[in-house]
Amino acid sequence: MAASIGGTACTFVKGDLAPQRARLDVYYVPGLNGPGLHYLGLGDSPFSVTAVLYSTAAGLATWAALIHAQQGTIVSIVNDYGDTYANCLLTRVSELRRQAAGTTTHRGELTIQGIRTA
């Protein structure tokens, strides 16, 4: 299965997304012994993955623009192993880092951060 970020194909997507964890809010009230605790449900699961593409310089620019356009949206991510993670809110997409990988081929890399939503 091909790796992808929101349907945009990648050569590699490195990193696993942790399962959702409980969100807790701990508070203290003056005059009472011990803390109070609010259970806010599942959803505290930040992630960071690295997307890589081998292509031409123009192909890398288009690829990076497509992924940058998805920042602030909820997408599905498929990693190198074919594991699909749905409901991923992309909060930050890094600038494109690229290097030559041959005479006409370039390697592009983006770091993508986000939060898994319910």
Give residue-wise pLDDT tens across range 90-114. 999 999 999 998 888 999 999 999 9
- Please tell me the pTM assigned to this model: 0.81
43-62 pLDDT per residue, tens: 768 899 999 999 999 999 99
Alpha-carbon gap, residue 70 to 27, rounded angstroms: 36
- Stated as kind and residue range, the H or E segment containing 39 is strand 36-42
Cα radius of gyration rounded to whole Å, the chain:
19
Return phi, psi of residue 59, to 5°: -65, -40
Return the amino acid letter for 59: G
Using alpha carbons, list the distances in angstroms from residue 113 to 39, 79, 105: 25, 14, 26
